[in-house]
Amino acid sequence: MIPPDIFPIDPWCVRETRLDLDRLGQTEAVFALSNGHIGLRGNLDEGEPHVIPGTYLNSYYELRPLPYAEAGYGYPESGQTVVDVTNGKLLRLVVDDEPFDVRYGQLSEHKRTLDLRAGVLDRYADWTSPAGKRVTVSSRRLVSFAHRAVAAICYEVQAPDEPVRIILQSELVANESQPLLSKDPRVSAVLERPLDHVARDVEQHGALLLHRTRASGLLMAAGMDHVVQAPGRFAEETDAREDWARTTVVCTLQPGERLRVVKHLAYGWSSVRSAAAVRDQVAAGLTAARFTGWEGLLANQRDYLDEFWDSADVEVEGDPAVQQAVRFGLFHVLQSGSRAERRALPAKGLTGPGYDGHAFWDTEGFVLPVLTATLPSAAADALRWRHSTLDLARERARTLGLAGAAFPWRTIRGQECSAYWPAGTAAFHVNADIAMAVERYRIVTGDESLERDCGLELLVETARLWVSLGHHDAHGGWHIDGVTGPDEYTGVVDDNVFTNLMAAANLRAAAAACQRHPQLAADLGVTVEETAAWRDAAKAVHIPYDSLLGVHPQSQSFTRYGEWDFEASKDDYPLLLHEPYVRLYRKQVLKQADLVLALHWCSDAFTPEEKARNVDYYERRTVRDSSLSACTQAVMCAEVGHLELAHDYLHETALVDLRDLHDNSGSGLHMASLAGAWIALVDGFGGFRLRGERLLLDPQLPERLNRLTFRLRWHGMRLLVEVDRTQVRLSLRDGPDASMDLLLADERIHLTPDSPVVRPWTRRQPLLPRPPQPPGREPAARP
Catalytic residues: 488
Backbone angles phi, psi at 766, to 5 degrees: -70, 150
Q: Are 425 and 418 in contact (CB under 8 A)?
A: yes
Instruction: Give the containing element (helix H, strand E) for 615.
Output: helix 608-619
Backbone angles phi, psi at 173, to 5 degrees: -135, 125
The whole-angstrom separation of Cα 132 and Cα 587 is 64
CA 246 to the chain's CA centroid: 34
DSSP state of 765: P
Residue 68 burial (10 A CB sphere; 0-12, 13-18, 19+): exposed
Question: Under DSSP, is residue 262 helix (H, G, I), strand (E, B) or coil?
Answer: strand
The whole-angstrom separation of Cα 546 and Cα 382 is 39
The whole-angstrom separation of Cα 549 and Cα 753 is 49
The whole-angstrom separation of Cα 700 and Cα 709 is 12
What is the 3-state secondary structure of 282-351? Answer: HHHHHHHHHHHHHHHHHHHHHHHHHHHHHHHCEEEECCHHHHHHHHHHHHHHHHHHCCCCCCCCCCCCCC
The whole-angstrom separation of Cα 429 and Cα 503 is 7
**Contacts of residue 197, Cβ cutoff 8 Å, sequence gap at least 6:** 174, 209, 210, 211, 242, 243
574 prior amide bond cis, ω within 30: yes
Strand 740-744, strand 694-697: pairing: parallel
The whole-angstrom separation of Cα 300 and Cα 40 is 19
Backbone angles phi, psi at 318, to 5 degrees: 115, -10
Instruction: Give the containing element (helix H, strand E) for 126.
Output: strand 120-128
Strand 478-480, strand 707-714: pairing: unpaired
The whole-angstrom separation of Cα 290 and Cα 288 is 5
CA 252 to the chain's CA centroid: 45
Question: Under DSSP, is residue 534 helix (H, G, I), strand (E, B) or coil?
Answer: helix
The whole-angstrom separation of Cα 315 and Cα 326 is 9
DSSP state of 569: T
Strand 78-82, strand 91-95: pairing: unpaired
Dump the DSSP string for 686-718. Answer: S--EEETTEEEE-----TT--EEEEEEEETTEE
Q: In what order do the strands lie in the sheet with 727-733?
A: 314-317, 707-714, 717-724, 727-733, 757-760
